Structure 1
């Protein structure tokens, strides 16, 4: 499980890193603050779903110390306040592995229980890490059958994952009662077509844009309510 989580974090960093071959494009008329997208093709990579992957990211400032923003994203009980894909279901932490001495640095395995109490066939693998210079929360949906194989000693390198997550940087005084804020970067990676040679449709871009815009609005509203 720790090996799979380590690969998830590396995959997230690779997926949002630009290069000469993969550059960010700013979406015009976006509902969120300066949403940027990047397209990658996944072929013959056993650790990543095959097809066209669309990365979308945006950054914005929050008037809340970064430790409190980190705790908000790390807490499974507040997840349905920002995670649109959980569809309002209750989140249950099945496994929790602490890493190091810092509170909040851990790997978790989460299950989504739907509104009617049923359980779907997807789990969420999540790693969170925090320090004085910044924090991150990275997560990815994982098929429950594949996860059971990993927990039983199977090779985690062949579990396809597509991680998304948050980077939280402190901005200004960051004491619990201080006036410091946070610079939050939200980044999603979404498989928009399972055929690597398919052409990206405008509908797919619009769907991802709406997803990140709605997520940003939810985050701002939830953080504002907790601040008050």
Structure 2
């Protein structure tokens, strides 16, 4: 006999007042979307689906013909990429963010930090630039715009005047928008982009990193290897006003290796790319 069951959820959270939340993020955190039960349950659901689809237990009709070993290797590498991106976004005493704006634009303050020796990244000193802005469009609309490869030439500098197409893709859940893809850009024959898109009701992300063609072929064959990754991308959160979803909080992070240029120049380039990209996105979705 089947008996009814229920899941009880008790949430405990310790909050430090030593560093106040940014006003843009305070409503999102206080709403429970950031750390509440809704967030954790949604995340558990997405991760469970990702495991089932990445191992080939479940598949989607739109998936590329990739072996189970290839799916597994691509999924492992994409997970490392996402974890690295999330680490890059975080603030810490070791990776402290500082403002890079000489003339601060209203509602667009770009911050940077410097990183060296992070595991899984190319050697050398890296400069990271990031910015969070508010958009009027819903977080689903912004996510759909950014994940659509046909839109990339509109906002991505390296895709300008290029054709972007998928070399391989497979779903990581029943929602076809949750997927891992490898993209090719017509003007850059020597490099590919590994990309993962994921969404649920509490937030979404579009994260990508350049990879070499030889590494892509190895991953397709199921070879496990520690590919050096320099992730970029977006975290897309619903903007909360009281109990109402009101637009989007869009965070962009971009990285550049300090090589053959001064540290100052690297900061200027990274900052300019972030601002330029966000302006294009604002024009497209607002």
2:83 corresponds in structure 1 to: 10
Are 1:134 and 1:169, in contact at CA under 8 Å, matched by a contact in 2?
yes
Are 1:107 and 1:125, in contact at CA under 8 Å, matched by a contact in 2?
yes
Are 2:78 and 2:196, in contact at CA under 8 Å, matched by a contact in 1?
yes
Question: Normalised by the size of structure 1, how large is the TM-score?
Answer: 0.85
Unaligned runs of 5+ in 2: 1-73
Q: Between 21-30 and 162-171, report the one with greater CA deviation.
A: 21-30
Counting only pairs closer than 5 Å after superposition, residues 1-228 of structure 1 correspond to structure 2 as 1-30=74-103, 33-42=108-117, 45=119, 47-114=120-187, 120-157=189-226, 159-172=227-240, 180-193=246-259, 201-224=263-286
Superposed displacement of residue 30, structure 1: 4.8
Are 2:239 and 2:245, in contact at CA under 8 Å, matched by a contact in 1?
no
Are 1:30 and 1:209, in contact at CA under 8 Å, matched by a contact in 2?
no
Aligned residue pairs, count: 209
4+ residue stretches of structure 1 with deviation over 3 A?
none
CA separation of 1:155 and 1:79: change in aligned 2, threshold 3 A: same
Which structure is richer in relative contact order (CA contacts within 8 A, separation 6 or more)? 1
Are 1:169 and 1:183, in contact at CA under 8 Å, matched by a contact in 2?
yes
**Alpha-carbon distance between aligned partners in 1 of 2:269 and 2:137, rounded to the nearest angstrom:** 29
CA separation of 1:42 and 1:63: change in aligned 2, threshold 3 A: same
Q: Pick the structure with greater CA Rg.
A: 2
**Alpha-carbon distance between aligned partners in 1 of 2:76 and 2:161, rounded to the nearest angstrom:** 30
CA separation of 1:31 and 1:149: change in aligned 2, threshold 3 A: farther
Normalized per residue, the structure richer in strand is 1
**Alpha-carbon distance between aligned partners in 2 of 1:4 and 1:31, rounded to the nearest angstrom:** 37
**Alpha-carbon distance between aligned partners in 2 of 1:93 and 1:121, rounded to the nearest angstrom:** 15
**Alpha-carbon distance between aligned partners in 2 of 1:137 and 1:31, rounded to the nearest angstrom:** 26
Q: Between 62-71 and 148-157, report the one with greater CA deviation.
A: 148-157
Superposed displacement of residue 56, structure 1: 0.7
Are 2:255 and 2:270, in contact at CA under 8 Å, matched by a contact in 1?
no
CA separation of 1:82 and 1:30: change in aligned 2, threshold 3 A: farther
Deviations 1:87-145 (A, max 9, x none): 3211001111101222311101110012xxxx511001100110111111110011111
**Alpha-carbon distance between aligned partners in 2 of 1:31 and 1:88, rounded to the nearest angstrom:** 30
CA RMSD of aligned residues (A): 2.0
Superposed displacement of residue 192, structure 1: 2.0
**Alpha-carbon distance between aligned partners in 2 of 1:81 and 1:88, rounded to the nearest angstrom:** 9
SS at match of 2:81: helix
